[in-house]
Chain A
Amino acid sequence: MIELRFHRDLYAGTAIDSALGRFAGVARFVRREDGADFVVEVHAQSPGRERTVAGELANFALGLTVEAGGPDR
């Protein structure tokens, strides 16, 4: 399992949800909130696949946040 923490000051929650939607079929995700962080646990069949999926998910979350004009205000 890889745990990703997306801080609210840096990421839009809607961007993370949208990114999770795009990757729904390729791994299992557990999403929760912890203080100022959106936390996403990535569960996949192998460590290599987990690294790839977590990395791509983070990139999508960043890209969609930038497209949205920044974090939720």
Chain B
Amino acid sequence: MTTIDTSAQTRADEVLVPAPRPQKRSFLDSTPAKVLLPAIVLATAIGLWEISVQAGLVNPITVPAASDTFIALFEMMQTEYFWAATWLTLQETLLGFAVGSSLGLVIGALTGTFKVFRTAIWPFVVAFQNTPRVALAPVFLTWFGFGMTSKVVMAAVICFFPVVINTVAGLASVDDNARVLFRTYGASTPQTFFKLTLPTAAPISFAGIKTALTLALLGAIVGEFVGAAEGLGVLVKEFNFQLEVASGFAVVVFLAVIGLVLYGLIELLERRLITWQH
């Protein structure tokens, strides 16, 4: 095939792209800075915490020293009941997340795709979204009992809404021009869904799923606070009742780590699945 020789002409549109100028990279943009500075902040915070307890600025009965907290955590990690509680809370969280976010995806997809669903369901989504859903925890305890189920339901209910809302928003974000383009190619409804709608909605929907995982942990803990025999939430409550504040704090620190790890894992999954976000 003969091609048109355009090489003699100036490629105006490329000439106009500014050549990358050697930028002065600030120290703050470098990797050492990004690790070092937060580390300094953390160390300072822990240091201030330790010093203020040791110096008697706060009551050590209500606020344990940083060192006592970490010792308590270390000791707890040698016990069986701690890991049993961790495993239970994790199960509640992940089951609640799985149920809540899958339901959220289904309801969100229906609401975002079919006008009849949108008209019928959307007002209730908005209403429930603005209701403090943790208030339902005692109700779920009555309905589903002291065991795991009431916590799974609480976690599911909390993490359901961000997924619904983000999925609907994602589906609504499909560019009208892109729809027109697909029509000119005579794309079928499934083709338009899989080649256009789904990839457009995925990043926004996934942002909701990320929020949902963090919220599921919150839901499980709240459920345990309201009434449970086991779990990390129960441990926090019990230790505080018994004025073992160092152990109570230790569990909170551990919960923070769990939250971070879960978030890290889901972000890893996001990067795997949605490679076109930048």
* A complexed with B: no
